[in-house]
Amino acid sequence: MTIRIRVPYDERMSNGIRIEVNGEPRGFTGETVSDLLHELSLTTDRVAVELNLEILDRQEFARRRLQQGDRVEILSFIGGGAPRCRNHEEGGSYA
Amino acid sequence: MHDDRLVIAGREFRSRLWVGTGKYKDFAQTQHAIEASGADVVTVAVRRVNITDRSKENLLDYIDPKKYTILPNTAGCYTAEDAVRYARLARAAGVSDLVKLEVIGDEKTLFPDTAGLLEAAKVLVKDGFIVLPYTNDDPIVAKRLVDIGCPAVMPLAAPIGSGLGIRNPYNLKIIMETVKVPIIVDAGVGTASDAALAMEYGADAVLMNTAIAGAQDPIAMAEAMKYAVHAGRLAYKAGRIPRKLYATASSPIEGML
Model confidence pLDDT, tens digit, residues A45-55: 889 999 999 99
Give pLDDT, residue B78: 95
Question: Residues of A with CB below 8 A from B108's CB?
Answer: 85-87
Q: Is the pLDDT of residue A10 over 70?
A: no
Q: Report yes or no: B71 and B132 within 8 Å, Cβ to Cβ.
A: yes
Q: Report yes or no: A88 and B159 within 8 Å, Cβ to Cβ.
A: no
- Round to whole Å and give the CA distance between B213 and B31: 11
ipTM of the complex: 0.81
- Round to whole Å and give the CA distance between A58 and A34: 9
Does the beta-carbon distance from A81 to B73 stay under 8 Å?
Answer: yes
pLDDT mean over A60-85: 84
- Round to whole Å and give the CA distance between B248 and B245: 10
| Alpha-carbon torsion, ordered A29, A31, A35, A36, to 10 deg | 60
Does the beta-carbon distance from A22 to B161 stay under 8 Å?
Answer: no
**Cβ partners under 8 Å of residue B214, min gap 6:** B23, B161, B163
Does the beta-carbon distance from A80 to B73 stay under 8 Å?
Answer: yes
B22 by Cβ neighbours in 10 Å (0-12 / 13-18 / 19+) ranks as: buried
Q: Tell me which residues of chain B have a pLDDT lower than 70.
A: 1-2, 54-56
Give the amino acid at B168: N
Which chain A residue has the Cα nearest residue B30?
A: A79
Which chain B residue has the Cα nearest residue A84?
A: B161
Give pLDDT, residue A45: 81
Query: Is residue B97 helix, strand or coil?
Result: coil
Q: Work out the minimum CA distance from B59 to partner chain A, whole angstroms.
A: 6
Give pLDDT, residue B219: 97
Question: Residues of A with CB below 8 A from B110's CB?
Answer: 82-83, 85
Give pLDDT, residue B159: 93
Which chain B residue has the Cα nearest residue A82?
A: B75
Give the amino acid at B42: V
Give pLDDT, residue B56: 67
Give pLDDT, residue A95: 44
Q: CA dist B76 to A80, B51, B80, B106, B207, Å?
A: 10, 21, 11, 10, 17
Does the beta-carbon distance from A77 to B93 stay under 8 Å?
Answer: yes
Q: CA dist A28 to A19, A82, B230, Å?
A: 7, 35, 54
Which chain A residue has the Cα nearest residue B18?
A: A81
DSSP codes joined into one string, B107-147: TTT--B-HHHHHHHHHHHHHTT-EEEEEE-S-HHHHHHHHH
Mutate to test the interface with B, among A44, A54, A78 (most CBs of B within 10 A): A78
Q: Which residue has the higher pLDDT, B241 or A8?
A: B241
Catalytic residues of B: 100
For the whole model, what pTM was predicted?
Answer: 0.86
Q: Work out the minimum CA distance from A77 to partner chain B, whole angstroms.
A: 5
Give pLDDT, residue A2: 65
Q: Is the pLDDT of residue A89 over 60?
A: no
Model confidence pLDDT, tens digit, residues A18-51: 999 999 999 999 999 999 999 988 887 889 999 9
- Round to whole Å and give the CA distance between B117 and B50: 29
Q: Work out the minimum CA distance from B107 to partner chain A, whole angstroms.
A: 7
Provide residues of A within 8 Å CB-CB of chain B: 21-24, 40-43, 46-50, 55-58, 73-88, 94
Question: Residues of B with CB below 8 A from A87's CB?
Answer: 108
Does the beta-carbon distance from A78 to B59 stay under 8 Å?
Answer: yes
Number of H helices, E strands in chain A: 3, 5
Question: Residues of A with CB below 8 A from B26's CB?
Answer: none
Q: Is the pLDDT of residue A9 over 90?
A: no
Does the beta-carbon distance from A46 to B58 stay under 8 Å?
Answer: yes
Q: Report yes or no: B169 and B200 within 8 Å, Cβ to Cβ.
A: no
